[in-house]
């Protein structure tokens, strides 16, 4: 998986440690005899990408704004989610990776931006209303960026950084019919390494069988990341299509 070489950092090891601690807490807290239920969801996030990147002490910046389907900018993408449930507790995992590149030419200056962006999040959820599938969720998210911003003639700035931040939010599922349901999620994080990270998702789910469902929705994620010489405002938004496999 593309995270292999880039995310093996102290922040990722800390994230895995937090994950193990959450799993231990959830397992010990759930005293019922019910078994764990799992849902694996490979998904395609057809995300539009907006980025504003500026180097500190510089009046020059790079702005990128294009859709997922502008394949000349999108070089690679991979993503999947995993949820485990037992009683009122749940465990959450989500991973995403994308590689983008862009360039802008003008009469006097040429600008180029190459960006690798990925995140891994782990968390836990607790169903706050017993007869309603509404849970408060909390955990940690590791965000990795590898950015190169170059102005010709002018400076070239490279930033490789992993941010690790907590998040908290709500998620829920509202049944509509025996086959259809609406899923919602919203969470916010930051104030540790990143200024803020906002993540929202709304989807319609169709159950094909008891073990398989199709998920079609819209996801929006915005983050403001700062480190040393670069300030990045990144927005990701677009249709998300997934296949939920229960076991």
CATH number of the domain that residue 15 is part of: 2.40.128
Using one digit for the tens of pLDDT, what is the confidence trace for 65-97? 555 555 457 777 889 999 999 999 999 999 999
Q: How many domains does the chain have?
A: 1
Residue 130: exposed, middle, or buried by beta-carbon count in 10 A (0-12, 13-18, 19+)?
exposed
User: Going by C-beta distance under 8 Å and a sequence separation of 6 or more, which residues neighbour residue 155?
Assistant: 55, 58
Could you count the other beta carbons within 10 Å of the beta carbon of residue 4? 7
Q: Under DSSP, is residue 10 helix (H, G, I), strand (E, B) or coil?
A: helix
Report the C-alpha gap between 215 and 81 in whole angstroms: 12
For the entire predicted model, the pTM comes to 0.75
Using one digit for the tens of pLDDT, what is the confidence trace for 178-229? 999 999 999 999 876 678 899 999 999 999 999 999 999 999 999 887 665 5
Could you count the other beta carbons within 10 Å of the beta carbon of residue 209? 7
Look up the domain containing 131 and give its range: 3-246
Report the C-alpha gap between 187 and 185 in whole angstroms: 7
What is the CB-side half-sphere exposure of residue 207 using CA atoms within 13 A?
14
With contact defined as beta carbons under 8 Å apart, do 145 and 160 qualify? yes
105 pLDDT tier (thresholds 50, 70, 90): confident
pLDDT of residue 223: 86
What are the strands, taking DSSP E only, across the chain?
37-55, 61-66, 74-86, 89-105, 110-127, 134-152, 156-175, 180-189, 196-207, 212-227, 230-246
pLDDT of residue 140: 95
Report the C-alpha gap between 242 and 219 in whole angstroms: 12
Q: What percent of the chain has pLDDT over 90?
A: 43
User: Going by C-beta distance under 8 Å and a sequence separation of 6 or more, which residues neighbour residue 51?
Assistant: 62, 63, 64, 65, 100, 113, 115, 232, 233, 234, 235
């Amino acid at each position: 998986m593309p995270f292999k070489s880039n995310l093996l950092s102290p922040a990722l090891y800390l994230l895995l440690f937090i994950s193990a601690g959450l799993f231990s807490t959830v397992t010990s807290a759930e005293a019922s005899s019910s078994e764990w239920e799992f849902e694996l969801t490979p998904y395609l996030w057809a995300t539009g990408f907006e980025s504003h990147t500026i180097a500190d002490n510089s009046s020059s910046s790079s702005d990128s704004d294009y859709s997922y389907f502008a394949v000349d900018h999108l070089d690679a993408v991979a993503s999947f989610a995993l949820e485990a449930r037992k009683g009122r507790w749940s465990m959450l995992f989500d991973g995403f990776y994308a590689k983008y590149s862009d360039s802008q030419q003008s009469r006097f200056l040429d600008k180029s931006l190459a960006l690798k962006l990925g995140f891994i999040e782990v968390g836990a959820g607790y169903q706050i209303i017993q007869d309603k599938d509404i849970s408060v969720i909390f955990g940690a998210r590791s965000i990795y960026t590898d950015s190169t911003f170059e102005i010709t003639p002018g400076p070239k700035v490279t930033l490789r950084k992993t941010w690790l931040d907590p998040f908290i939010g709500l998620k829920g599922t509202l049944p509509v019919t025996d086959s259809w349901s609406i899923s919602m999620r919203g969470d916010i994080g930051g104030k540790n390494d990143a200024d803020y990270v906002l993540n929202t998702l709304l989807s319609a789910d169709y159950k094909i069988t008891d073990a398989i469902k199709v998920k079609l929705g819209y996801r929006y994620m915005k983050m403001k990341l700062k480190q040393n010489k670069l300030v990045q405002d990144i927005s990701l938004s677009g249709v998300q299509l997934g296949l939920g496999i229960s076991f």
